[in-house]
Copies of this chain bind each other. A is one copy, B any other.
Amino acid sequence: MTPSATSTRVPSKPTGLECRMAVLGADVRLTPHRREVFDVLAASTDHPTAYDILDRVKARSPGISLATVYNCLDHLTSAGLIKQVHLERGQSRYCANLHEHVHFHCETCGKVIDAHPATDFDPAKFWNLPKGTRITRTDLAIHGTCDACAAK
């Protein structure tokens, strides 16, 4: 194994992942597999499933197992470095975009795209929640037909 593939908490070559860890103060041991899983996800805009990620990581690490992909995704998710997305039942999808955004899901082609806020959004302004309720996060999924499918 080459030195650059050794796991470490003090990387010699900072990448997006290390910057993100520094900004978030996340403490995850950075193994080669975790880095690859993150890199694959960061390079994807299609909200891949665990199987999609396995396929893509296999190009670099042919021996990686599905269990390891799930394991890496779990660790990265609980460190807050990536997000798990549930649009419908079935496979979970993953997303490396940590900016505030919501997901648009095309019911025709299945594509998922990120939509960023045009203006500030405070859910407590729109929905009546019992007094004393504390909000930690909101998940908005918008379902419909994407522009490409609507044009057909």
Which residues on A are within 8 Å of B, measured CB to CB? 86-89, 92, 101-102, 104, 107, 113, 115-119, 121, 123, 125-147, 150-151
Contacts and interface: CB of A to CB of B under 8 A. Distances in A.
Given A118-B126, A133-B144, A133-B145, 17 more contacts: A86-B86, A89-B92, A101-B127, A102-B127, A107-B136, A113-B130, A116-B128, A127-B140, A130-B146, A132-B146, A132-B150, A134-B145, A134-B150, A135-B143, A136-B144, A139-B139, A139-B143
Each complex incorporates copies of this chain amounting to 2
**4 closest A-B pairs (Cβ-Cβ)?**
A132-B147, A115-B127, A135-B144, A134-B145
A129 to B, nearest CB: 5
Given A88-B86, A89-B86, A135 B126 contact: no
Given A89-B86, A131-B147, A133-B147, A140 B123 contact: yes
20 contacts: A86-B87, A86-B89, A89-B92, A102-B127, A104-B127, A113-B130, A117-B127, A118-B128, A127-B140, A127-B142, A132-B146, A132-B150, A133-B144, A136-B145, A138-B140, A138-B141, A139-B139, A139-B140, A139-B143, A140-B140
A136 to B, nearest CB: 5
A36 to B, nearest CB: 24
Contacts of A86: 86-89
Contacts of A89: 86, 89, 92
A126 B133 contact: no
